[in-house]
Structures are given as C-alpha cells and as structure tokens.
Amino acid sequence: MEWPACTDEYEKLVIRMSTPRVVIDNSVFSSATLVKVDSARRHGILLDAVQVLIDLDLSIKKAYISADGKWCMDVFHVTDQYGHKITDDKVLKYIEQSLGSIQYGRTDSSNGLTALELTGTDRVGLLSEVFAVLADLQCDVVEAKVWTHNGRIASLIYVKDSSSGSTIEDSQKIKKIELRLRNVLKGNDIRSAKISVSMAAMHTERRLHQMMFTDRDYERTPILEVTSDNPVVTVQNWAGRGYSVVNVQCKDRTKLLFDVVCNLTDMEYDVFHATINTNDDRAYLEFYIRHKDGTPISSEPERQRVIQCLKAAVERRASEGVRLELCKEDRQGLLAEVMRTFRENGLNVTRAEISTVGNMATNVFYVTDAIGNPAESKIIECVRQKIGLRYLEVKELPLVNNQEMQREDQAVGIGGAVLFSIGSLVKRNLFSLGLIKSCS
C-alpha cells in the first residue's frame, strides 16, 4: 500500500488496525463461496457488509456473526441467484475491495438525477396516475422502486428533464411536480400523502424501509389473511448476559438478511452475535442485540414494537402476485402507457423495479387483481398481447436447492425460538471457521 508523504507511522498503524481483513475462499464448500470479514466494531458495519453482497444480487444462505469487545467477525456463505458459487474473478475482487473499505461507511455517489419520494395510501391505478403526471411534465423516469405493504405505498423515483437530459433544477418545475403528485396521492387520505424532492444520493432499498417505517406501516391492519408464509418473530431478554434475543422464521428469499439487519440498525440496535441458516425454502435468523447505549430491550411495548417492525421488514419485499418482466426500447411515455394498460385490465402493481440500461427499459412488476388475489392467466395474456408478447414475459424466480449445502454444514444448528447459551453460539461460529474441531 502506498502512503501519502504526510502520513506518519502512528496514522499508518491506526489505518492498518482498523482496515477490515477480508478472506474469500472457494475451496471449503462445493456449493457456496465462503466470505470472512474481520473488522473493528461500529454501529451499522454489519449492514454495510450485507449491503455489499446484496447489491451484487448474491444470495446469503448462511451467516455467522460474532462481535466481542471492539472487534467483530462475520462469515457469509454466498451463491448467485441460481445457487452457484461465485467464480468470476472480477466479482470476487470487487467484493474483497468493497468489504475492505466498509470500516469508513458505505456512501452512494451522486447519479445526477432528481429523486422523488412518495408515500401514501395504495389503490388500484395509483402508479398509472403518478407516471402519467411525470410524462406530462416532461420527466423521464430513469430508475424507480415501488413497495406496497398493509395498504400503504412507498416509492423512490429517479427522474431527469426530458429536454435537457439532466437533473431538474428549475424550482418552478419542481414545485409543479410536487403539487401535481401530491394531488394524485391525496385521494381520500389527505394527511398521510407525502412527497419530497431531493438531489442527494442514497441507498434506494434502505431509504424505502425508512420511508415505510416513518409512515408506520407496521401498525396498520394487514389486508391479507394470515398464512404459513407469514413471518414468525419472537423477542426475549437474556438478563444474565444483557442481550435481547430476536428470532425470525419465514420463507427464504433474496435480500432477506439485508431487510432485517437494515431495520434493526435504523431502530438503533447493535447486533453482537447472530446465526442465519436456510433449510429448503425456509430461513431461520437469530440475533443477540442491544441498544446503541449497551442496554437490552427494556419494556413490553418496546418488545412488541420490535416484533411488529421486523414482521413488516420481511413482508415489504415479499413477492405478491405474478412477476412480469418488461424489456423494450425506452421512449418517452412508455412507462405511463404500460401502467395504464395494467390499470385498464384491472391489474394492481404490488411491487415494481424500474431501470434503464442504455436505451433499453428493463422493468419488473408484481401484479395481482384489484382485490389482491392472483391475476387470471387470460387477463395476463391479454395484457401481454397489448404491450407485446416479445417484450412482456411472465417470469418465476429460480428455485435454489440447498440440500448439498445442508449436508456440508450439518454441524451448525438451526436458530429456533428457544433461548440457548451464548457459549454454544460462539462455539458454532468458531467451528464454522475451522478454529475448533467440534461443537461438543
């Protein structure tokens, strides 16, 4: 490493001591890439590490977290979305470099776009109206993500001026955008409709969690009936060690660990120890947490609030409806037309990911019928005919077989709802790292 001329030996020592040590190993398991990170502990560092991995669309199948004193040790078993190990040297190098810099915090560089934040009451056709307004105001949607949960909607939309192709800086135009979109969002719920315009760069998915948390979506009565796919969350204190123990059991999916850790971090909790495991399509997550001030959860209302918030964190990204993927040459008003077609055929968009790569629009939509039930196949086909069969396709997420990974890691127990000793947790973490020979 080359040092600036003004760097003294003490500064070099501090930098060396605080820089995370990252080891990536493809030889330990045949079914997963092992990623180990040793770093100085600080609030939010686990979230930063997980964010590096999920931003590459990697799947975290297992993880072991241990933070004692001022140092933490994180171990992740990762695959791609199809369950394969990571073998691309460029990707591996990027992971190593990115994780090696997390001690200084994750920053998002400015993308030169105007960010629109919208929250309000969800209803059929709302997104169609939103994107129609933006098209009418000569705003090109470059990227957007939309989540719905418990009858609420949160959206982060990045736009640019259609004529100049750059950030919208005209204050009068910004005011007009805010006014028009606020009127669309109001509907019958004037007080809860919110819209803001920002030029700041941010991590989109973390910001969506923050927006829905601020909107208190976790307090509202769920629209859907309780099913076996709903998350089960338990929280109990371990007074002898001063921890609160959080268990989450739910259907496994991509970015699940990020969603849970993101909400724990933004609620001002630190994760000291954790075990994450997957079994077929189920995920088992166990966290030993404290407040930033070092205290455990102190009251029953706070415990219930943590349970509600973590259930909401899991449910917000849970896929509801048929997954449709649109890949078509981008043009002004395309998104508004697609959304209008959905609305005219009684389809409701429950989640959306909008992106533009070069001159191509690559969008993902999850759609249901107007009351939240699965959309009929004949309606889906009718919509595809109108938009173009070659452009709009029905897609399903790949199913990952975890059986081989389970055989390789049978020594690691699944975190359950029963409180067990921290000594057992640490032993299992050390065993997974190859530092001891057995868990007995």
Digit-coded pLDDT (tens) for 33-46: 999 999 988 999 99
Alpha-carbon distance 4 to 240, whole Å? 48
pLDDT more than 90, % of the chain: 65
Alpha-carbon distance 1 to 20, whole Å? 14
pLDDT at 428 over 50: no
The angle subtended at Cα 50 by Cα 107 and Cα 349, nearest 5°, is 85
All residues at 6 or more sequence positions from 432 whose CB lies less than 8 Å from its CB, including other chains: 64, 75, 409, 411, 412
For position 11, what pLDDT does the model report?
A: 53
Q: How large is the average pLDDT for residues 64-69?
A: 89
All residues at 6 or more sequence positions from 70 whose CB lies less than 8 Å from its CB, including other chains: 40, 41
pLDDT, tens digit, for every residue of 253-300? 999 999 999 999 999 999 999 999 998 889 999 999 999 999 999 999
Strand ranges inside 6-70, DSSP E = 21-25, 33-40, 59-68
pLDDT, tens digit, for every residue of 73-101? 999 999 998 899 999 999 999 999 999 98
Q: How large is the average pLDDT for residues 412-418?
A: 36
Q: What is the SS3 assignment for 110? A: coil
Task: Render the burial of 118-147: b for 16+ CB within 10 Å, e for the rest.
Answer: bbbbbbbbbbbbbbbbbbebebbbbbbbbb
Which pair of tokens denotes residue 89? 């040297």
- pLDDT, greater one: 418 or 207: 207
pLDDT, tens digit, for every residue of 376-401? 999 999 999 999 999 999 987 554 45
pLDDT at 20 over 50: yes
Given pLDDT bands bounded at 50, 70 and 90, which one contains residue 242?
very high
Full set of structural domains in the chain with CATH: 19-107+231-317+402-432 (no CATH), 114-220+320-395 (3.30.70.260)
Q: How large is the average pLDDT for residues 407-416?
A: 43
Alpha-carbon distance 102 to 84, whole Å? 25
For position 101, what pLDDT does the model report?
A: 87
Alpha-carbon distance 210 to 212, whole Å? 6
pLDDT, tens digit, for every residue of 101-152? 887 666 665 577 899 999 999 999 999 999 999 999 999 999 999 999 999 9
pLDDT, tens digit, for every residue of 158-202? 999 988 878 888 889 999 999 999 999 987 566 678 899 887 778
